[in-house]
């Protein structure tokens, strides 16, 4: 049996709910809301940054047939943006969803691939997007 060639991509940490300062009134349930420990063994990856300079959608090529790096699609997606964007995601299930992102979006799926993704900025607002995508082995 041959060696596995690829990288382990992981998102780790915790989601917590805490008062902003020690002097702040307690609002209810505090502490750890959930642990974040998402891992995928991946082959192809795309790590890029771009500025949205027009109000029209910018499509990012994902599949090799269209000039992208992936055979089937992306299973790990991290979007970080300065400025609000609408991210439109199409999956191997055939569904397309539009998600507003004003900060960060993390999407991890081991069984469903993202096969298309595009970004649209708020009209006339300069927007920077950092994008990391990976396809599981």
> Does residue 54 surpass a pLDDT of 60?
yes
Domains of the chain are 40-136 (2.60.120.1380)
Dig out the tokens for 75 from the structure.
Answer: 């299973």
Is residue 132 a contact partner of residue 45, using CB atoms and an 8 Å limit?
Answer: yes
Q: How confident is the model at residue 46 (pLDDT cuts 50, 70, 90)?
A: very high
Q: Number of helices (H) and strands (E) in the chain: give both, helices first.
A: 0, 9
* Averaged pLDDT, 99-111: 95
Q: Is beta strand 96-101 parallel, antiparallel or unpaired with respect to 127-136?
A: unpaired
Separation between Cα atoms, residue 92 and residue 68, nearest integer Å: 16
Q: Which pLDDT does position 36 carry in this prediction?
A: 86
């Amino acid at each position: 049996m041959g060696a596995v060639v690829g990288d382990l991509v992981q998102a780790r940490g915790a989601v917590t709910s805490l008062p902003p300062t020690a002097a702040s009134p307690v609002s209810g349930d505090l502490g750890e809301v959930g642990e974040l420990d998402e891992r995928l063994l991946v082959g192809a990856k795309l790590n890029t940054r771009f500025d949205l300079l027009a109000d029209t959608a910018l499509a990012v090529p994902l599949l090799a047939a269209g000039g992208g790096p992936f055979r089937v699609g992306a299973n790990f997606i991290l979007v970080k943006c300065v400025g609000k964007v609408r991210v439109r995601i199409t999956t191997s299930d055939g569904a397309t969803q539009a998600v507003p992102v004003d900060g960060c979006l993390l999407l991890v799926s081991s069984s469903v691939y993202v096969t298309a993704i595009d970004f649209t900025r708020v009209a006339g607002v300069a927007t920077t997007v950092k994008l990391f995508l990976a396809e599981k082995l």
